[in-house]
Structures are given as structure tokens and as C-alpha cells.
Structure 1
């Protein structure tokens, strides 16, 4: 144990003014919630206790467990551009395999689910294509598991891959249509169902595909999730009911015509999804008029 000559002494060089300011602001925010919303010490205890029990059940870092409380705060890149998350997804794995464009995400021969063909473009604020943009793409399997995170016998990069846009900024890949999922470890925690319902949320996350978009002209890489229009879980998303604004919801279409199915080489109905990213580059205007939907 370190013994200080003067226990009241604090090395000025170790003081972080920003940390001091943020802690004070946080306490002031809690004080306002106490005075204006009736926040009590028991309320704080109830929240922290539940988060700790979820952390114990899942083994996830406490910061990840608490994401439903704050993740919606860190979604930027608006001003008409495709909204981006300013936090790294805990389900991301670096080093995913390269696939062709058009290509297919790595998957098991008997991968459960409905085939999905995804297409779209990556554009700048002037509507010009970003050729050679790298898209890291991944999503959960039909059981809600992400490959490489569990010892479940699934290949590390199952349903994970990256590709590069062509000269027109286009990309196309085939995968399996994601589905809504809930973490069984979380749902088994005593009291979590009631706590989530009290907030008007579901224990499920809506179906989505994760992307990271990298290009030398981008101000910052794009990180986030693309959802499916009409998904009823979006408004009650466990992580946050406003995390999937309309600008992050893709058009999808179910194809059931036998000739169409055979032409694509599938054994049954399949879906298509269209989504365009409009991202801010070093030459893009600060603000653009958002489009009604994908171009």
C-alpha cells in the first residue's frame, strides 16, 4: 500500500478538468431528475441492482449491459446524412473474409432462414458514388447468435464478410434474412421482463444488418445497423425505441413467383432489400436535404 506524506495532497498534474466537469454535470443532472421527476435513491439502487444481475447472467461488461440506457444518445451523422452510431458495436469482429461484389456472405450449407439479396449504393453529399468503399457486413443467425462470440460450433465468420463498392458505388450480396431476437440470458434474469415492460419496450431487438463503411474521403467511418421497414418491434426495441429512425429502415420485397425463385437458384421464396448510404465526405456540404427513400 502506498503511503502519502500528506494524505490531503493531490498531484495537480493528475487532475483531469474534463473529468471533473463531466462528473459535476452528471450529479447536476441527477439532482434535476430528483427535483423535477421524483428520482429517489431507491430508484437508482433498483436500476444498478438489475444491471448487475444481467451482467452476472450474461458475462458481458457492465458498460454493454447498460447500453439500453444511453445508446440512443450517441447517434450522430444527421443533417440529412444517413445517421451513424458513434459507438463500436460489441458484436463486431475484425478480420472478416473478403467476398466478391456481387457476392455471398459465408454461411453453413444448411443455414436456416429465408434467402435475402441486398443491394444499394454508397453516395456522398452531392449524390456522387463512392467507388472502392469498404463495407464490413454481418448479422445474427436465426437463433439470435452472432458468430465468433459463443462456443456454439459455428464458424467464427459465419454471416460476416466485407466487400468493396464498384465504380458506381454499388454493392450486392446474398445472405439470410435476419430475424428479431432476444438474449436468453437476459430474459432469464428475475425482474427484467417487468422492468423492460415498465419502459414500454420489448425484450427483443428488431431484425437488422450491421455495417461499417470505410473510405479515404469520409470524415469518419460509418457504423450502425440497417433495419426493415414495417418491423413492428422497431418502436419497442429493447435497446431504444428511436434507435432506428426511418432513415435507417430499408425497403424489402418478398418474391414468391416459382420462375423468379428458380432463376435465382433458390429452393423457395426469397427477399430483396434496397438501401443507399448517403455519407459526409471532406468535400460534402454540411447539410443536405434528406430524401424520402433510397434512390
Structure 2
């Protein structure tokens, strides 16, 4: 027996009004770009083709391949204080190893790069320390790879770890100074370097360290990246030229004098970096001006 289904029937229980509105709004936005900016069907096909090439060459999900086109739009709260709807980093991996405070991120004995000692405080909007805050810390190795993402023989927890702030909200850890990096697979894809250059962007990402900060008093956990002042890649960042505002850039100092190196147990020149996180808690002011930031 054959059951005939009305081809015009749509189950009302399956209709998502929000999805209907968003698709309509997206089409309206495309129509405005067509009328005001000359967007063509070929333009959209060209973008989709490049994204498909990146997906095929790198093996990353299509959503991740497309992320540079839109993630910047959702990076709110870039003053580093206001709660943000930040895009979760695709390079995050759960289950990092706990390190001491002060401590050292897990790394290989011959880890390439210049040693870096990072320190600072985690404070609320009144400048009071947040003790016991959990800092998840990770960054790419000198070749631009993040551990646990490639079968490259690197330990899965390399340059990844977490620690807890002390009673004064302080944290200190030693790692290797990150460098700017680009995905080697993406750089070799036909048409991608030209498309990125046409947008006035570099295929490189500026050097940065990823943090996640968790504490019961925070309205929401803080997720973001801390960059390095003076990095020339920041304005032409492949992912977005506004992702590294001054509030999220830190100074680094190079120490080459033997007297400075020896007390830290280091045999080569190293760098130091200090950065205070000023984060909005349930009792903090809604907004805060740069002048109000603690010294």
C-alpha cells in the first residue's frame, strides 16, 4: 500500500521562526550589497570556491575555513573588560596540564624559540585581585602549529597548561616567545594569496597567546588573545585587523645581560612580558575608562 503525502505540507512544529527571520535578513543584506556595492553571483561563487579549496587542502571543517570572513563581526568587548560574545578558538583543547604559579608551560627539551617569562594580575573592575582564578594558557609553536591538532609527533599538551592566581591575583609562567605564523597549506592554494592581498591583508597571523579565565565572580568566562605591541602584522591580520586593539597588546622586554639571565636559570637571552587582566565581575561597574585602569 502506498501512502500519498501532500507535497505542500510542512509540519508547523518543525518551523523555527528565528531561522526564517535570519535567512530573510541574510538575503536582504545580499540584495543591498548587490545594489549598493555591485555584488555579483560570480563574486559569491569565487569566495565559495576558495573556501572549498582551503577545506580540501587543509582538512579543516568548512565552517573553520570560512571563519576569517565573519569571525571579526562577533568579536565584541574588545576593550578586554566588557563581557564579549567571543568566537571560541578552534585551537583550544580541553584537559590541559596544571602547572605551578610560578610555573612553566609543558614543552620539549629542545623547544625552538626565545624564552619568555609572562606575569601579571587578574583584577576586577574595582582593581581588586581575583585570587584562585583559573587561567588556561596556550599558543602555537615556532612553526605555527598548535599541539594536539596535527599528527606531527609533538606531544599533545605542548605549550598548553593552566594555573591558578595567588592571593594577590598574580600569575607567572615561562614559555617560548610566540611568532607570527601562516598555515603552509593555505599559502600554497592557488588563488588564496592573491585574494588575501587584494583585501590588503597578510596570510600571517600576528604573534599571540591564548587565554581563558574562569572565576565564580566573573559574569562570563573571559576568552581572548594577548598580542605584542609593535608587531607589524597586527594591522594586516589574516583573520581581522581589529582583533588586536591596544587594550589587548602587551610590551615585551629583551634581556641579554648575563646578570639578568642567570637568576632565572636561563642560558640564553630571554624576554619578559607583563599584562594585567581587568575583568568585569558581578559587582564591577558596567563600563570603565582607560584612565580608571589600575596601574
The separation in 2 between residues aligned to 1:223 and 1:80, in whole angstroms, is: 9
The separation in 2 between residues aligned to 1:280 and 1:79, in whole angstroms, is: 11
* TM-score, normalisation: structure 1: 0.96
Cα offsets for 1:19-49 (capped at 9, x unmatched)? 1111111111111111111100010000000
Aligned to 1:265: 265
Instruction: Answer yes or no: is the 8 Å Cα contact 1:82–1:248 preserved in 2.
Output: no
Aligned to 2:238: 238
Cα offsets for 1:200-222 (capped at 9, x unmatched)? 00000000000000011111111
Aligned to 2:189: 189
Aligned to 1:248: 248
Tell me: CA distance 1:277–1:204, structure 2 relative to 1, closer, same or farther (3 Å).
same
The separation in 2 between residues aligned to 1:188 and 1:219, in whole angstroms, is: 43
Moved over 6 A (4+): none
Q: How many pairs align?
A: 294
Aligned to 2:152: 152
The separation in 1 between residues aligned to 2:294 and 2:197, in whole angstroms, is: 34
Instruction: Answer yes or no: is the 8 Å Cα contact 1:143–1:181 preserved in 2.
Output: yes
- In structure 2, the gaps of 5 or more residues are none
Q: Please state how far the C-alpha of 1:80 moved relative to its aligned partner.
A: 7.0
Tell me: CA distance 1:124–1:101, structure 2 relative to 1, closer, same or farther (3 Å).
same
Tell me: CA distance 1:293–1:202, structure 2 relative to 1, closer, same or farther (3 Å).
farther
Aligned to 1:24: 24
The separation in 2 between residues aligned to 1:7 and 1:102, in whole angstroms, is: 66
Instruction: Answer yes or no: is the 8 Å Cα contact 2:147–2:159 preserved in 1.
Output: yes
Aligned to 1:205: 205
Aligned to 1:40: 40
The separation in 2 between residues aligned to 1:251 and 1:185, in whole angstroms, is: 31
Instruction: Answer yes or no: is the 8 Å Cα contact 1:82–1:247 preserved in 2.
Output: no
RMSD, aligned CA: 1.7
Instruction: Answer yes or no: is the 8 Å Cα contact 1:255–1:270 preserved in 2.
Output: yes
- In structure 1, the gaps of 5 or more residues are none
* TM-score, normalisation: structure 2: 0.96
